[in-house]
Amino acid sequence: MSGHIPVHLSTSSVYPENAAYAFDLAQRLGYDGVEIMVWTDPVTQEAGALSALARLHGLSIGAIHAPTLLLAQRLWGWEPWGKIERALDLARDTDAQCVVVHPPFRWQRGYAEGFVEGVAQRQERWGIPIAVENMFPWRAGSSASAMQAYLPGPDPRDFPYTDVTFDISHAATAGEDALDMVRDLGDRVRHVHLGDSFGSFKDEHLVPGRGEQRCKEVLEHLVETGFGGVVSLEVGTRKMSSQDREKALAESLAFARQHLGQTDLPGARPA
């Protein structure tokens, strides 16, 4: 299995189930590892507990997603840089490959003004990549008008980040072509969130292959260009039954394996 692009399961893909469930499911389905979304589940905040789960299930931890989402504003306090630094500590202590962060919200002006420089400084200090994720404008209902919710901006192509998390569903919500965007970002792509979309104003995170995005072509591009990071399934299953969730995440893994050329690896052919 050496040399292949690892396929991981984000703990956000099993919400509202917890991290322990995510590790167990990832092992049973044949994933290579897990991405940790830091959330109210205390296990997602504890390096010792996460490392123990990784050892128990024989999985690696590919990324720590810092609690920079709108619904996680109060988690780990209100100071944004403090959240990122705690995520860096957690990544260091769990041997995670990178920390995933969203750009600041527009109302976090002080944080946003020094964001690009602050990311570079902390990346150098910790020696761990901080992969800034592509986001999208916010739209209300069917309105064509959009509000730029992120500063300095939602598109990492506009800023000199060394490392980027490329999210296919976010690209679709922003009205961007995923294949064009991943090509434009080039070797700055450190981490990939795989999820499909019909390109609606909602951030859909569908099972890959169930939407209209060029997920297949993005994965093939990663293989062709020698991508050295992790592909993490970030799929919305909140409204699914446990059985349907497992089927959806098995289907997601099989899709990734197929188009990464991994047809001989676990999970490539789900029951």
> Residue 160 domain-assigned?
yes
Q: Which pLDDT value is given to residue 244?
A: 97
Residues 84 and 74: their CA atoms lie apart, in Å, by 13
Q: What is the CATH number of the domain that holds 117?
A: 3.20.20.150
Residue 269 lies in a domain: no
pTM score, whole prediction: 0.94
DSSP string covering 82-123, please?
HHHHHHHHHHHHHT-SEEEEPPPBTT-HHHHHTHHHHHHHHH
Establish if 2 belongs to a structural domain.
no
Domain count, the chain: 1
Range of the domain at 172: 7-259
235, burial (CB in 10 Å: exposed 0-12, middle 13-18, buried 19+): buried
Phi, psi angles (nearest 5°) of residue 230: -120, 140
How is residue 159 written in tokens? Answer: 């800023």
pLDDT value at residue 212: 96
Amino acid at 70: L
Asked if residue 208 is part of any domain, the answer here is yes
Residue-by-residue pLDDT tens, the chain, 271 positions: 346 999 999 999 999 999 999 999 999 999 999 999 999 999 999 999 999 999 999 999 999 999 987 676 778 888 999 999 999 999 999 999 999 999 999 999 999 999 999 999 999 999 999 999 999 988 665 555 667 789 999 999 999 999 999 999 999 999 999 999 999 999 999 999 999 999 888 889 999 999 999 999 999 999 999 999 999 999 999 999 999 999 999 999 999 999 999 999 999 987 6
**Residue 270 domain-assigned (yes or no):** no
The answer to the question of residue 267 being in a domain is no
Q: Which two tokens stand for residue 85?
A: 């630094």
Exposure on the CB side of residue 170, measured as CA atoms within 13 A: 20
- 16: three-class secondary structure by DSSP: coil
CA atoms within 13 A of residue 238's CA, in its CB half-sphere: 7
Residue with tokens 């509202």: 16
Query: CA-CA distance, 266 to 156, in Å (whole number)?
Result: 33
Residue 145 belongs to some domain of the structure: yes
Nearest to 35 by CA among 68, 1, 12: 12
Q: Do 237 and 268 contact (CB within 8 A), yes or no?
A: no
Characterize 88-110 residue by residue with b for buried, 16 or more Cβ atoms within 10 angstroms of its Cβ, and e for exposed. bebbeebebbbbbbbbbbeebee
Number of residues that this document lists for the chain: 271
Residue 44: CB atoms within 10 A of its CB come to 21
Q: Is residue 264 domain-resident? A: no
